Chains A and B, each alone.
Chain A
Amino acid sequence: MNAEIVGQGELSQTIATLVKAAGVDGRGVELWCVPVSELRQAVRDRLPGPQHRILLATRGLEPGTALRPSQVIMEESACLRVAALAGPVLPAEIARKSPCAAVVASPHAELRALGAAVLRSPLCRVYESADLAGVELAGALVDVFAVALGAARGLGLGAGAEALLVARAAVEGARLAGKIGGDPRTFSGLAGVGDLVACAASADHPGHRRGLALARGEASPEVVAMCTPLLRHGGNLPIVGGVKAVAAGEVRGAEMLAKLMSSAHAGEWDDA
């Protein structure tokens, strides 16, 4: 019997494909594919308890509270065994059976092994991590960095600029992870840089489309909502701050690019 999938939409279909390919007995684990803005209500509706094990494919931080998805579950329920799923799992590629990889993160060794088992197949390599906070944070950051990459492309920048963006995103990810108690190395793995490289290579990624719109000068409340909770954690996050300013219409993309390029800088991993 397959693991139960909670939620609807493209992501849940993709996860269902992976679960089916793994073909293992997934009883006892639930895969939640619920948008972060709807997660709290979903917890209230389903009321997971001590006996539940949840693998969360939800990305982003909760608007308003800036909590990570697993924190929302633990704030609303007595469920303690929660894992996060992240990584370059692109629906279009899964649909055409192209191989992919993901990371399952939880401090609970038993849950991450179970979570990995229900997704692991020749179609998908699944790595395990104990860094739940770092992986959840990486998922939230990648969505914003993908917008930045789309904007860079919209502004007609080249591969060098994109590589600069990815590398500095890695530093920013490590910096924020360190601040919230995650492992600074996590962002360099599948959940962070791995996913970001996939975004850079995928023209139909939603972040890419949003970035192109920003480059055209269109404001985006949706992108602002993605950035705001990340910035609430404080710290030096110039790319996230820059994306938010452009998305809020405070500054144009080209001006932000000039500002970022001329900002003070020294050691590559300073503050990270």
Chain B
Amino acid sequence: MAADPALFRTPPASEVAAALEARVRRRLATTADAPLADYLADTLFHERKRLERDDDAPEYAEAIEAGAQSLRAMSRPAMESSIYRMVRHYAEEVHNPFSVRTYRFATRMMPGVLTRLLSGARPRDLVLGDFDLASRLLLSGPIDQLRRLAEQGTLILAPTHVSNLDSPLIGYSAFAAGLPPFAYGAGLNLFSNPVMAFFMQRLGAYTVDRRKKNRLYKDTLKDYSTEIIGRRHHSLFFPGGTRSRSGRLESRLKKGLLGTGLAAWQESLAAGRRDGEVYIVPCTLSIGLVLEAETLIADSLAEEGKQRYIITDDEFADARTIGRFVRSLLQLDAKVHVVFGQPMDVVGNAVDSEGRSLDPRGRVVDRRGYVFDRSGAVVSDEQRDHLYTERVAERLGEAYQRDFVPQATHLVAWAAWQALRAAFPGLDTWRLVRLHPDQAVVDRAAVARRVGEAMSRLGAYHTALAPTAERTLDDATRVFASYHRHRAVAEQGPSLRVHPELCLYYQNRMVGYRELR
């Protein structure tokens, strides 16, 4: 029988704080006075500015103010201890101990609990599970291999991200696939729902406050991730960093957290540990509707520079909207396609069933050569590691494109958008999305023809689609009619009426498919 996952034995916050302080101590030991002063000044400056808007613990706010006032006169030991105090504060804020009891309760009660959570039910209703979410989830990919790798090393699950519902869905999908629980970073705003917060805090979520922009906080988050991966906590990152605003599959990925897998692996090699292997697993999640589509595309189309990294007033903030969304999906008999991709090592090479790295021709290679010197010692090189992590990010982007399962809504929106563009050849995207609703009408037969052509060009990709273009078109218009305030594409006699913004959002999922160019 498999051993309990390491996440079941999360250390207390004080131990995590001490570990993170030790990490920053090691870094500061090789930092000269001037850069150290810059580092502290950057932190105090950003925090002081933030505290003009945001609340925080009074003693923390006072310490920031006092630090800012006395920065010029601070000795090196005073600067260091100021940094250590902040790191401990951040560590305690970020860390949430995992609760095995809650996990066992939640997994026993799943999927009812999750379904009711998703539909905004009252807490006392949570145990009355009467709906089988599992039947709506279609899981695929090398799941047996992933289970084996999770036994011998640590997994980093790296999914695409469109909705705040992704974390619970992926968490449940991992459970349904027989994978262990994952630690993951969740924005502070997601903890505002007390029921969600109760479960998230106890089921692996660590708290990320995106309002904190200072370098020390970002470094602490990276240290935290490196620390927990080193302790063999399987981790989940959304490499896109945030929900895709445009609806496109992520191609530019953030490397900060992604690089912590490589860092943790090197630390375990240097320590001579045998259980420190780290594997990165791409994951795509495909669903015909996106809860927050209207807000996200509006934000994406907002004037450049005004895109909000943290959105607190979207559809996710309203439990009734979530409920309506989930009910729509249930009534539509919608399926969620979750594809676990081919696992790779921390520099982006595929790995075999035993976790050994493979070269592009499938030959086993010793990955330690990437970081060892000739004597077999680990050589630390930040610039090299950045390049290795860039490679992982590229491979993830390729995997997303390869693995994503397009739904009828994506393909029909794509075809309708093409038809709209053809109907208004002089208009660019910005003008098209501002078309009056009466103008945004396209010929239904032409769209059906485009859908049919696209289906034959997509070949193996269209596993989620009905067998004919007509039925695919019907499926999409039915789904579009079910939830959003506006219909992305709607039947109107021999024509289709298009809501350009929403249509653009759903069609953007198809951008990047060479077959459709």
Contact = CB atoms under 8 A, between A and B. Distances in A.
B124 interface: no
A27 B347 contact: no
Interface in A147-173: none
A225 B175 CA distance: 56
Contact of B365 (A49, A74, A75): A49
B381 A110 contact: yes
A81 B357 CA distance: 17
B383 A50 contact: no
Given A76-B360, A78-B349, A78-B359, A49 B383 contact: no
B131 interface: no
B381 A80 contact: no
B360 A77 contact: yes
A52 B370 CA distance: 8
Interface string B46-65: 00000000000000000000
A194 interface: no
B366 A50 contact: yes
A108 to B, nearest CB: 6
Nearest to B390: A107
Contacts of B437: none
Contacts of A92: none
Which of A52, A80, A107: most chain B CB closer than 10 A? A80
A51 interface: yes
B368 interface: yes
B374 A27 contact: yes
A109 interface: yes
- Chain A interface secondary structure, helix, strand, loop or mixed? loop
A78 B374 contact: no
B388 interface: yes
B383 A108 contact: yes
A109 B359 contact: no
A108 B363 CA distance: 24
Nearest to B373: A28
Contacts of A27: 374
B26 interface: no
Contact of B361 (A52, A76, A107, A108): A76
Contacts of A107: 387
B391 interface: yes
Contacts of B383: 108-110
Contacts of A52: 369
Given A75-B360, A76-B360, A50 B387 contact: no
Contacts of B363: 47, 78
Which of B366, B370, B374: most chain A CB closer than 10 A? B370
Contact of A80 (B358, B368, B374, B391): B391
A65 to B, nearest CB: 14
Interface in A187-226: none
B384 A50 contact: no
Nearest to B358: A78
A43 B311 CA distance: 51
Contact of B384 (A28, A75, A78, A110): A110
Contact of B360 (A74, A81, A109, A110): A74
A51 B361 contact: no
Contacts of A109: 383-384
B153 to A, nearest CB: 18
Nearest to A51: B369
A107 B386 CA distance: 10
A110 B368 CA distance: 17
Contacts of B368: 50
Interface string B354-396: 0001111101011111101010000001011001100100000
Interface of A: 27-28, 47, 49-52, 74-78, 80-81, 107-110
Interface of B: 347, 349, 357-361, 363, 365-370, 372, 374, 381, 383-384, 387-388, 391
16 contacts: A28-B374, A47-B363, A49-B365, A49-B366, A49-B369, A50-B365, A50-B366, A51-B370, A52-B369, A76-B359, A76-B361, A77-B361, A78-B349, A78-B363, A78-B365, A81-B384
Given A50-B368, A75-B360, 11 more contacts: A27-B374, A47-B363, A49-B369, A50-B347, A50-B366, A50-B369, A74-B360, A80-B347, A80-B370, A107-B387, A110-B381
Top 10 A-B pairs, shortest CB-CB distance: A51-B369, A50-B369, A78-B359, A78-B365, A50-B370, A109-B383, A49-B365, A107-B387, A77-B359, A49-B369
